[in-house]
Amino acid sequence: MAAGILQLFCALSVLSVLDVTGKKMVGIGVSVLMVGWFRYLSHLLLFSAIALPMRGRRLLSTRSFSRQAVRGVLVALTTITFFSVLKRLPLAEATALNFLAPVMVLLASPWVLGEPLRWNHVLGVVMGFTGMLVIIRPGGSLPLEGVALGLLSALILAAFQMATRRVAADDPLTTNIYSGIFGTLVFTLCLPWAGPWPDLEPLQWLLLLSTGVSGALGHWLQIRAYQAAPASLLSPFVYLQIFAATALGWLVFNQLPDGITAAGMGLIVLGGMTTGALEWRARRTSQMPAVVSERVD
């Protein structure tokens, strides 16, 4: 269990590094579409080099190609919108708004996934949206355009998370390779609108290419984490990424949220962690008789 939590924290930290790199690239003038293309192409090449020798042709074996395609397109759209948010908002605030996605999933689950809406879900939804209203309050320092894009990014991410549940029967490595395939395809089709080829210094080229490495490594660590521990146990710890994003935003960009914004971020984190902890407790309680019986036998 502890290994799973540690691997998840490492995964979230690596993905926060990816966000920092993406923010740096769009900040120096590389278009979001160009950053996305390099991110998914290098991800695809690296992941293929690692996973193909392990799985061979079985790597592309899926129970539903259409669902993988939908998920792959959504992951590309998520990247486009979130990198656009990072161009306009500090890293910590952008990450916090993105964590409204699980709240949106909870709201949509009864109709889209056929999952019941429990009281602890309602609590998480109320706390999450209250935190959002605090962050985007009238008179706040965040630009309206960035906030609107942040909410759109969270909405697309929620659709992506629900699409991920629909391909849960597939091998995680298979799902990851399709993410690279469709992400690369979408951004390749968008290249005519990506602007001129970037004129970068050698270190900046390395940073741009590193987006695929950090993306592939982050997703691989996530897979390992969910193999080592159940999702219900890990779900509250996902929100640790906000702390990693805040620390990196301060170290790299010298940006820290003000007190009121930090309180709103805290409400989103508390709502998500409370919902996850109660969900884990409920599942553990429901499984207790089976565990006891198994021990008696």
Question: pLDDT digit string (tens) for 129-172?
Answer: 788 888 877 767 788 899 899 999 989 988 887 887 788 788 88
Plot region of 29 (φ>0 → left; ψ -120 to 50 → alpha; else → beta): left
Distance CA 209, CA 211 (A): 5
pLDDT at 30: 94
pLDDT at 291: 30
pLDDT of residue 276: 67
Q: Which residues of the chain have pLDDT under 50?
A: 288-297
What is the pLDDT at residue 46? Answer: 87
Max Cα distance, the chain (Å): 69
Query: Encoding tokens for residue 83?
Result: 């990198």
User: What pLDDT does residue 289 have?
Assistant: 41
Distances (CA, A) of 68 to 74, 167, 251, 290: 10, 7, 37, 35
Give the pLDDT of residue 7.
Answer: 84
CA distance 215 to 76: 13
CA 39 to CA 208: how far, in whole Å? 7
Q: Output the pTM of the full model.
A: 0.82
pLDDT at 172: 81
